[in-house]
Amino acid sequence: MAPLRRVLVRAAITYDRRGFGRSDKTLTGYSYGTLTEDLHALLTELDLTDVTLVGFSMGGGEAARYFTTYGNERLRSVVFAAAVPPYLMKTGDNPDGPLEKSQAAEITAQLTANQEKFYDQFTTEFFSSKGVLRVSEQQRQEALALCLQADKKAALACLNAFGTTDFRDDLTKVSIPTLVLHGSADATVPFAGSGARTHAAIPGSQLHVIEGAPHGCNVSHAEEFNRALIDFLGN
């Protein structure tokens, strides 16, 4: 009989945040406390260990908050990809926050008034740098279709959550291998006010900046994004 061998299985697991995609469109639960609880419920239900959390954009908030609420027992490493931490809103004690309160109010007003028009503009900016769309129109339309699956109240609540939640203390709890992956031309979540500060806040973290990439760098610069991610996972 051949000797038994341990087989290491790696898989990518994605899920739709509540209020978005095919998940339930709940009336409440859009604070980062509940959103992180949803993430933890997934990990425990599937009994996942040795996990690398890849938090893209708003999802970087759940990744950061997870350490404060649940620790790192199930985790191997974490990736903050074009992510919103440490704190987007510019305030008196957060002068480096890239999001002005007036800008946040304008975004909320635009989504409230006409979500179809808002998402059309948002997906264009999401994938653009220096005024040039960095993906095909088909790719942008696919992203737009995903946006239109969102419940409007969920989108409005999440706009508030990712703009006003302070993750600075959460980042001090991160003590496992960390990659910060960000586009240099990200106009949605500007690198200087987010990725650069996250990298500085986590001792020993790795940083990979994709030159010229917009917020949607995982699509516009997929080859470089995936290579950086896979190299990190292989360490």
- The answer as to whether 14 is a domain residue is no
- pLDDT at residue 196 tops 60: yes
Q: Is 199 a catalytic residue?
A: no
HSE, side-chain direction, 13 A CA sphere, residue 196: 12
- The answer as to whether 54 is a domain residue is yes
- The answer as to whether 20 is a domain residue is no
Number of domains in the chain: 1
Give the model's confidence band at 172: pLDDT under 50 very low, under 70 low, under 90 confident, else very high.
very high
Give the model's confidence band at 106: pLDDT under 50 very low, under 70 low, under 90 confident, else very high.
very high
* Letter string b/e over residues 5-23, b meaning 16 or more CB atoms within 10 A of that residue's CB: eeeeeeeeeeeebbbbeee
- The answer as to whether 26 is a domain residue is no
Q: Is 205 a catalytic residue?
A: no
Identified catalytic residue from 57, 129, 194, 220: 57
Q: Could you tell me the residue range of the domain that residue 184 belongs to?
A: 32-233
Identified catalytic residue from 182, 199, 208, 215: 215
Mean pLDDT across the stretch 39-61?
97
> Which pLDDT belongs to residue 5?
46
Ramachandran class of 194: left when φ > 0, alpha when ψ lies in -120 to 50, beta otherwise: alpha
Instruction: Identify the CATH number of the domain in which residue 74 sits.
Output: 3.40.50.1820
- The answer as to whether 146 is a domain residue is yes
> Which pLDDT belongs to residue 9?
52
Helix (H, G, I), strand (E, B) or coil at 213: coil
Identified catalytic residue from 128, 170, 186, 208: 186
Q: How far is CA 166 from the centre of its chain?
A: 15
CA distances from 128 to 98, 117, 196, 223 (A): 18, 17, 20, 17
- pLDDT at residue 235 tops 90: no
Q: Is 128 a catalytic residue?
A: no
Rounded Cα gap, residues 75 and 67, in angstroms = 9
pLDDT digits (tens, 9 = 90+) for 143-169: 999 999 999 999 999 999 999 999 999
Place of tokens 């994938």: 127
Tell me if 186 sits within 8 A of 192, measured CB to CB.
Answer: no
Helix (H, G, I), strand (E, B) or coil at 11: coil
- Of 190, 172, 35, 23, nearest to 97 by C-alpha is 190
> Which pLDDT belongs to residue 232?
97
Strands (E), 63-190: 75-81, 128-129, 132-133, 178-183
